[in-house]
């Protein structure tokens, strides 16, 4: 097994001050495999674990409301609020669950915790933020119903699952107002939240994947109620970004969830991270249980624990996970588990894919790793230090193979071979390829080889997400950082440029087609070519033509250079 350098900086519920490296040779404290969890200032990422989405400057709680509308559903009367465009927003509790127990669909329509009337918004699930902003009773969603959808419309529903490394985020995160997307796709948009972190994955009784079951509960709720709003119970499409996409990948590996949705969209899924297996989870669970002031068998004590005690134990686990289980890493150590009961397949290249029939859209952005690399290494790094990072992160033979690849070689100045060269561009390309782009392309080939349909895209235009602008490189012309696709899809980019507006229109048209037909092509835009088991024609989203494969060819990443899920497969 290859030895990996783990994060030296501890993760805690307290957001510590951060100082940029003072020299060109900073101490290595993270690996390429940890790119999903950047060690950067607290204000850079709205969905960084333990940092509240509430610090983000952009209001995303929905359009201003002006009237109230009632709809009769099988679960009771739904009260909503309408904005000036006619889109009606409904805040609702979709599920209920006792602590560390599976969730079930509610038996009556009810406002979520935090909403005292139809215009209210749900509190987030517990996370490292102001306790007044979250509630353990948090299984809630926001439904956006456009005026074009009426009883009998048989309209599709898109269910959005937020990111946040499985430990932060909510249905009211920045840019997640579904009104514009609902209007332009003629679809119901459901933005959901689910139990996070230890409350969603680390039950002391060893029951895991509770958060995965929450998503299934949300789909079951939608099947019950969307016909009352004009939707079709059989036309539900899942969509999510980052860990939200990772959650969808987990759902795709749950046979019992297959009849709950028709198709899926995965945006910026860090597919280099496989699911945890039961051996890995048992080690993490044991450590977590040891941090609690209760025996794992003392149900009374566990029930009476404060949320802050649970979050403190979660913080300790997050800080130690990568040393306990190297495969867990520091980015998403709390994540779905292939337990053989709910999740039955790794859904990666370590085992044959189960047969597939669903169509999927897979997308990444141009510079997925830029926020991490340039946020941490704020000054240029030398070629020597770059080589050291790669060697420590990957070990042999992977490091040697990567450093000899054309895509990752740092160009030497023709005028002075001894001059300092900034190796950050190559490091961010390598991180983008490993964690996101090439892993996604491999997944697409596997999906198609198993009978499914897949379309792969890459955003070359984005809208800077709140916090990303703190890394200057993410605001440079042509840069598209992690999360910069969110406000394109939702159409919520503030003061969009002409290029952004054009891409918003295109993506919402393609989503409308995909939600309706299972194919993202529309006569108004160039053909988006399906992936095959050997070829990926990744459409440039916001550009023209297809994005070059580079190192993401069929014989390089995943074969010549293994992904982490292959290295750590046990």
pLDDT of residue 569: 74
Query: Which residue(s) pair with 73 in the sheet?
Result: 76
Choosing among 3.90.45.10, 1.10.10.10, 3.40.920.10, 3.40.50.1820, the CATH entry for 1-8+22-570 is 3.40.50.1820
Cis link prior to 491 (omega < 30° from 0)?
A: no
- Under the banding of pLDDT at 50, 70 and 90, the label for residue 415 is low
> For 427-441, how does the pLDDT look when each residue is reduced to its tens digit (9 = 90+)?
999 999 999 999 999
> For 379-410, how does the pLDDT look when each residue is reduced to its tens digit (9 = 90+)?
999 999 999 999 999 999 999 999 999 999 99
Instruction: Kindly name the residue from 63, 82, 153, 242 that is annotated as catalytic.
Output: 242
% the chain with pLDDT above 90: 84
Q: Smallest Cα–Cα separation from 272: which of 483, 390, 434?
A: 434
**Cα(283)–Cα(247) distance, integer angstroms:** 22
> For 500-557, how does the pLDDT look when each residue is reduced to its tens digit (9 = 90+)?
999 999 999 999 999 999 999 999 999 999 999 999 999 999 999 999 999 999 999 9
| Secondary structure element (H or E) that encloses residue 360, with its range | strand 359-365
Cβ–Cβ contacts within 10 Å for residue 534, how many?
10
Cβ–Cβ contacts within 10 Å for residue 458, how many?
26
pLDDT of residue 249: 98
Residue found under tokens 């913080």: 315
Q: How far is CA 148 from CA 177, 182, 469, 559, in A?
A: 18, 9, 36, 49
pLDDT of residue 30: 53
Query: Which residue(s) pair with 105 in the sheet?
Result: 95
Domain ranges of the chain: 1-8+22-570
Whether 14 has a pLDDT exceeding 60, the answer reads no
* Stretch 262-277: mean pLDDT: 97
Q: In a 3-state reduction of DSSP, which class is residue 492?
A: coil
* Tokens (6 digits) for 501: 């507006």
Q: What is the pTM of this model?
A: 0.91
Top pLDDT among 29 and 482 is at 482
Whether 417 has a pLDDT exceeding 80, the answer reads no
Q: Smallest Cα–Cα separation from 363: which of 444, 278, 255, 474?
A: 444
| Secondary structure element (H or E) that encloses residue 400, with its range | helix 398-403
**Cα(555)–Cα(570) distance, integer angstroms:** 23
pLDDT of residue 22: 31
> For 344-380, how does the pLDDT look when each residue is reduced to its tens digit (9 = 90+)?
999 999 999 999 999 999 999 999 999 999 999 999 9
Whether 13 has a pLDDT exceeding 50, the answer reads no
* Stretch 15-36: mean pLDDT: 42
* Stretch 322-335: mean pLDDT: 93
| 242 is annotated as an active-site residue | yes
User: Cβ distance 151 to 71 under 8 Å?
Assistant: no
* Tokens (6 digits) for 230: 């004009």
Between CA 87 and CA 95, with CA 90 as vertex, the angle to 5 degrees is 145
Burial tier of 490 (Cβ tally within 10 Å: 0-12, 13-18, 19+)? buried
Whether 259 has a pLDDT exceeding 70, the answer reads yes
* Stretch 45-49: mean pLDDT: 37
Top pLDDT among 469 and 248 is at 248
**Cα(488)–Cα(483) distance, integer angstroms:** 10
| Residue ranges in 192-325 assigned as alpha helix (H) | 197-201, 210-229, 243-252, 278-291, 299-304, 307-324
Mean of per-residue pLDDT scores for the chain: 89
pLDDT of residue 54: 30
| Secondary structure element (H or E) that encloses residue 532, with its range | none
> For 93-117, how does the pLDDT look when each residue is reduced to its tens digit (9 = 90+)?
999 999 999 999 999 999 999 999 9
* Tokens (6 digits) for 109: 């329509």
* Tokens (6 digits) for 265: 């969209």
* Tokens (6 digits) for 192: 């959901």
**Cα(546)–Cα(536) distance, integer angstroms:** 9
> For 113-136, how does the pLDDT look when each residue is reduced to its tens digit (9 = 90+)?
999 999 999 999 999 989 999 999
Q: What is the secondary structure of 428-479 as a DSSP string?
A: HHHHIIIIIIHHHHHHHHHHHHTT-EEEEEEESS--PPTTGGGSGGGGSTT-
Between CA 44 and CA 49, with CA 46 as vertex, the angle to 5 degrees is 100
Whether 6 has a pLDDT exceeding 90, the answer reads no
% the chain with pLDDT above 70: 86
- Under the banding of pLDDT at 50, 70 and 90, the label for residue 31 is low
The single-letter DSSP state of residue 262 is: S
**Cα(141)–Cα(193) distance, integer angstroms:** 6
Q: At what angle do helices 210-229 and 243-252 cross, to 10 degrees?
A: 90
**Cα(85)–Cα(88) distance, integer angstroms:** 9
C-alpha torsion angle, residues 17, 23, 25, 27 (rounded to 10): -20
């Amino acid at each position: 097994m290859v030895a990996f350098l783990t994060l030296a900086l501890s993760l805690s519920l307290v957001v510590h001050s951060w100082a940029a490296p003072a020299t060109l040779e900073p101490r290595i404290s993270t690996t390429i495999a940890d790119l999903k969890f950047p060690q950067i200032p607290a204000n850079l990422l709205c969905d960084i674990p333990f940092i509240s989405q509430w610090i983000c400057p952009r209001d995303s709680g929905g359009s201003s409301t002006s009237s109230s509308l009632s709809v009769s559903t099988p679960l009771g009367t739904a009260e909503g609020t309408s904005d000036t465009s006619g889109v009606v927003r409904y805040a609702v509790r979709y599920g209920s669950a006792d602590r560390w127990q599976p969730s079930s669909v509610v038996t009556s329509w009810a406002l979520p915790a935090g909403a005292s009337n139809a215009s209210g918004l749900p509190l987030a699930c517990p996370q490292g933020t102001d306790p007044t902003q979250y509630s353990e009773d948090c299984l809630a969603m926001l439904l956006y119903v456009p005026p074009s959808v009426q009883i009998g419309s048989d309209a599709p529903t898109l269910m959005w699952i937020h990111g946040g490394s499985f430990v932060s985020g909510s249905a009211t995160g920045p840019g997640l107002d579904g009104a514009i997307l609902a209007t332009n796709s003629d679809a119901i948009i459901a933005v959901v939240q689910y139990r996070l972190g230890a409350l969603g994955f680390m039950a002391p009784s060893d029951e895991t994947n509770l958060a995965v079951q929450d998503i299934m509960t949300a789909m079951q709720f939608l099947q019950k109620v969307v016909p009352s709003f004009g939707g079709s119970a059989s036309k539900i499409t899942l969509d999510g970004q980052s860990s939200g996409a990772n959650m969808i990948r987990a759902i795709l590996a749950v046979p019992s969830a297959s009849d709950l949705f028709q198709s899926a969209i995965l945006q910026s899924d860090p597919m280099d991270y496989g699911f945890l297996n039961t051996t890995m989870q048992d080690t993490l669970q044991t450590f977590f249980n040891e941090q609690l002031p209760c025996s794992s068998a003392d149900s009374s004590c566990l029930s009476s624990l404060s949320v802050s005690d649970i979050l403190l134990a979660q913080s300790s686990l997050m800080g130690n996970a990568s040393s306990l289980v190297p495969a867990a890493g520091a980015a998403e150590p709390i994540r779905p588990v292939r337990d053989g009961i709910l999740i039955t397949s790794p859904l990666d290249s370590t085992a044959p894919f189960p047969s597939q029939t669903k169509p999927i859209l897979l997308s990444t952005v141009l510079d997925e790793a830029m926020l991490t690399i340039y946020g941490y290494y704020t000054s240029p790094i030398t070629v020597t230090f770059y080589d050291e990072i790669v060697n420590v992160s990957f070990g042999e033979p992977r490091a040697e193979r990567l450093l000899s690849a054309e895509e990752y070689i740092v160009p030497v100045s023709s005028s002075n071979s001894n001059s300092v060269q900034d190796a950050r561009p190559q490091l961010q390309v390598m991180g983008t390829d490993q964690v996101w782009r090439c892993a996604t392309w491999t997944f697409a080939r596997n999906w198609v080889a198993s009978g499914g349909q897949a379309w792969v895209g890459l955003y070359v235009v984005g809208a800077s997400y709140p916090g990303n602008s703190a890394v200057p490189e993410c605001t440079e012309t042509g840069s598209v950082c992690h999360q910069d696709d969110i406000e394109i899809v939702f159409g919520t980019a503030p003061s969009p440029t002409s290029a952004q507006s054009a891409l918003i229109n295109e993506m919402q048209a393609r989503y409308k087609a995909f939600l309706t037909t299972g194919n993202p092509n529309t006569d108004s835009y160039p053909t988006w070519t399906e992936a095959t088991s050997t070829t990926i024609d990744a459409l440039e989203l916001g550009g023209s033509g297809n994005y070059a494969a580079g190192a993401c060819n069929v014989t390089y990443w995943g074969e010549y250079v293994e992904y982490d899920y292959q290295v750590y497969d046990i």
